[in-house]
Each structure stands twice: as C-alpha cells, then as structure tokens.
C-alpha cells in the first residue's frame, strides 16, 4: 500500500484516525501497531512476519544489553543483535548481487535466488540497530513490547523514512500531546508532501521515461533527462518525508526534518547536510565516529570517509551504480576538504553551478543501472558523439513540460515557503491567509485525487530500498 494510493487516502487513513482518537491513550500505541502491521502485510504477510521477528530480536536483546550493561557480555549481545538484524537485510537485499559478482569473477553459473525485497527493510533495519546500540551506550531499554514495536513498525516512516531514532521518540511513545492545531499542521504537511509526490515527482518521472525511450537523442534531451530525474528523486524522497512528518504530527509525534532545500547548496558538503539528513546523521553516529572519524591518522580518516560513502551508496540499492554514486560524493567531499572548498566560497554563482552539475551527473548514475549507458548520458550533456543540440521532438517535449519544469525548479527552493510565511504573518493579509490556505489545501487534495484516478503511472522509488 502506498501513501499515494486511493485505498490509503480514503480508507486506511480514515479508519485509523477514527479508531486512534476513539480509544484511551494507553491503547493508542496498540492501535498504531495493529494498523502498521496491516499496512505492511498488505504487500505480503510473510514480510510482516519477518519484521515482527526482527522487532522481537531487538526487544529481547535490548533487555539483555541493559541488564548486563557494563559487563563484557553486553558488548557480545550488542554484536550478536546487530549481526542478526543486518543479516536479514543482507539476505533479502544483497544475496543475488553477491551471486552475480561471484559468477562474474569465477566464471561459474550459480543460479540467482530471485529473492523479493521486503519494502522498507533498509529503514527498519537501521532503526533496530540504532536502538540496540543506543541501549548499549546508556539509553533505557523499552520494557513494553507494544511501544517498541509501534516505534519500529510505525507506518508513516516505515517504508520511506525518515530514519527515526528511538531516542528521538522514546518520550513521545509514553507521553505525547494531541491537539487540533498540531493535527491541522500534520494534515497541511501531508497534503503538501502528497502533492509533491503525485503532481511533480510523478510528472518528472514520466518526462524522464519519455526521454529515455526516445530514439533520437540531443544535448537538450540529455539535459532534460538529468534535470527531470534529479527533480523526480528529490520530490519523491522529500514528498514521502513530508507525508511521514505530517502523519506523525496527527498522531502526536515530532519527526525530525529530512530535507532542507538541498539544490540551493554551494558544495557537496553542504548538499549532504541538507539531503536525506536522517541517513547522513545515522552513518555519522553509527559508522563514521565508531571507526574513529577524523581523530585518526590521515590515511585512516580517508579510509573511514570512503567506507561511509561506499555503504551509503550500497544502502540505496544492490547494484554497482549505487556504490559508484556513493563513492562519487565521497571523492567530492575529500577534494572539497583538501582544496576546492576555499575556492567555492569565493563565488556563489560558480559554486552553485558546480554542485548542480555534480548532482545532475550523479543522479544519472543513480537512476540508470548500466554504468556504460549512464556514462553515455553524461557525455551527452556535453555533446559527446557529435549529437545535435536540439530537434523538433526535443522542443515539443520542452514546451509540453515547461510549466511543470519551472514549477518544480521553483518548488525546490525556499522561495514559495518564504512568500507563504510572509503572506500569512503580515498584518494586512494574515486573516486572508487563514481562509485561503485551507481552501488551497482542499483544492490540492482534489487535484491529486483526480490525477490518481486518471493516471496509470505512480512509480515507487523505495522498492529498491
């Protein structure tokens, strides 16, 4: 079940909200858990059982680690817990990748297992790992299994993030407030995220598929592909994060922000402070710092950086293009730290052109599994192969999608948010904004519904995660 499906929007959400607010507080987490398991089981009961097994292991090991904290056995329990939980992800997500590469190296033909990837396994695996490590570091273990299971299985952030740490919501699992104001903020955020996903991300994906299927390629076509795919990935990611944060508010939770207008960055370093922030901070706290961070000899520091970025890419998908994508950013970050950053700081214009070019080329690699084909597309941005700059077909699709492209580009900056904030907080227009905003949200929701009814395209980026 997807957030951007009519079943979710008109049946699932209505049912859980009615029941959630009808029961006393002590039963609310149980309601969240039951509906979350149903939501996840919609894609396959056996995968829901796998998640329940992972949660059970996290719960049991959490209690054991707390009980023996300070003793050597606690470290053993932590290591075993992490190994058990991550083994599920390794098996379901990476087995065929390892077999393919083993066959390529050895010349053997071991058949692939063709294992179906459980949706969201990358997200809940990281959440359970962070939980048991935090307990080892001193966080109190959750004694109530329903509370822990509700945190891990919570449907708003289960399949698409953000990666919510237990320490961020531990208090709210047991004591949280609900209000009409907070719920209204949640509804607003959810509708904005849904609109970003359905109206912009899906349209950018359709454009990228049209270009990808076109027989005659041009320089302009390649640029349109790079821009559309970067916008698709951003609005898909951030749209789902907005929906998760909005749903969290409705149920009384405050999830941390996951995106902060990354396309206005002036360096790769800044880009990754703004892009998928929950993932970046997770790798920093649970891999980079435990490896020694930058408090080690320079060669070890570089090794730590490249290890983090290799695993960042590999987390996104079991293919070499994801690993290359992650290492690409790792190399950029090292170059910036040692040399480039001081020059980028001197010119905002050049720095922004640099990062946009880096992002576009990187997301071409991210999206196209074949590295040879991806490099052909990157070469096409600069006219490699003597291709023409434009064609009648290129100009036709540019005109057809011009309004959407401009809207997406503007929407990827803080401009609209700043204008809306200024409008709603001004003495002259504040009262008008209180009327206009809910009307616009209702209209947006109606338009999204019309798109979902009429459209056969509703791509889901997270099937790869």
For residues 162 and 244, the answer to whether their CB atoms sit within 8 Å is yes
For residues 158 and 40, the answer to whether their CB atoms sit within 8 Å is yes
DSSP 3-state of 259? coil
Q: What's the first-to-final CA gap in the chain, in angstroms?
A: 15
Neighbours of 272 (CB within 10 A): 20
DSSP string, 33-44: HHHHHHHHHTT-
- Give helix then strand counts, H and E, for the chain: 23, 0
The structure tokens listed for 209 are 């598929």
CA gap 386, 74 in Å, rounded: 63
DSSP string, 395-447: HHHHHHHHHHHHHHHHHTSSHHHHHHHHHHHSTTTHHHHHHHHHHHHHHHHHH
For residues 442 and 448, the answer to whether their CB atoms sit within 8 Å is no
Neighbours of 67 (CB within 10 A): 12
Neighbours of 274 (CB within 10 A): 17
CA gap 316, 126 in Å, rounded: 13
The structure tokens 């929906």 sit at 243
The structure tokens listed for 307 are 């290890």
Active site residues: 316
């Amino acid at each position: 079940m997807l957030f951007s499906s009519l079943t979710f929007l008109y049946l699932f959400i209505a049912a859980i909200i009615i029941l959630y607010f009808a029961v006393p507080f002590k039963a609310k987490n149980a309601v969240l858990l039951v509906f979350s398991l149903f939501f996840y089981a919609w894609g396959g009961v056996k995968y829901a059982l796998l998640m329940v097994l992972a949660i059970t292991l996290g719960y049991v090991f959490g209690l054991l680690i707390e009980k023996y904290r300070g003793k050597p056995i606690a470290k053993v329990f932590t290591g075993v817990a992490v190994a058990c939980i991550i083994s599920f992800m390794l098996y379901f997500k990476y087995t065929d990748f390892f077999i393919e590469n083993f066959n390529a190296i050895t010349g053997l033909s071991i058949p692939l297992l063709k294992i179906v990837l459980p949706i969201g396994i990358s997200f809940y695996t990281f959440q359970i790992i962070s939980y048991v490590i935090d307990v080892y570091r001193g966080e109190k273990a959750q004694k109530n299994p329903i509370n822990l299971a509700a945190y891990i299985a919570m449907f708003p952030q289960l399949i698409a993030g953000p990666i919510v740490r237990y320490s961020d919501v531990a208090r709210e699992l047991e004591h949280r407030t609900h209000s009409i104001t907070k719920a209204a903020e949640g509804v607003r955020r959810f509708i904005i995220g849904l609109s970003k996903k359905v109206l912009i991300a899906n349209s950018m994906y359709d454009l990228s598929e049209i270009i990808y299927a076109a027989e005659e390629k041009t320089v302009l076509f390649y640029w349109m592909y790079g821009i559309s795919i970067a916008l698709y990935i951003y609005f898909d990611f951030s749209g789902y994060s907005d929906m998760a944060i909005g749903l969290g508010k409705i149920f009384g939770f405050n999830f941390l922000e996951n995106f902060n207008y990354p396309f206005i960055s002036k360096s790769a370093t800044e880009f990754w402070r703004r892009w998928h922030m929950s993932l970046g901070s997770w790798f920093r706290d649970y891999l980079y710092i435990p490896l020694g961070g930058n408090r080690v000899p320079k060669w070890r520091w570089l090794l730590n950086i490249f290890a983090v970025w290799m695993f960042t890419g590999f987390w996104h998908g079991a293919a070499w293009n994801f690993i290359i994508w992650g290492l690409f950013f790792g190399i950029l970050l090292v170059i910036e730290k040692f040399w480039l950053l001081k020059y980028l700081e001197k010119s905002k214009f050049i720095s922004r052109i640099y990062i946009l070019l880096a992002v576009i080329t990187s997301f071409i690699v991210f999206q196209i599994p074949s590295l040879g084909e991806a490099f052909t597309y990157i070469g096409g941005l600069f006219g490699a192969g003597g291709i023409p700059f434009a064609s009648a077909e290129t100009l036709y699709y540019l005109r057809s999608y011009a309004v959407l492209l401009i809207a997406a580009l503007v929407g990827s900056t803080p401009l609209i948010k700043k204008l809306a904030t200024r409008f709603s907080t001004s003495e002259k227009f504040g009262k008008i904004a209180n009327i206009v905003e809910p009307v616009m949200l209702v209209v947006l929701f109606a338009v999204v519904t019309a798109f979902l009814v009429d459209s056969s395209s509703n791509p889901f980026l997270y099937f790869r995660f």
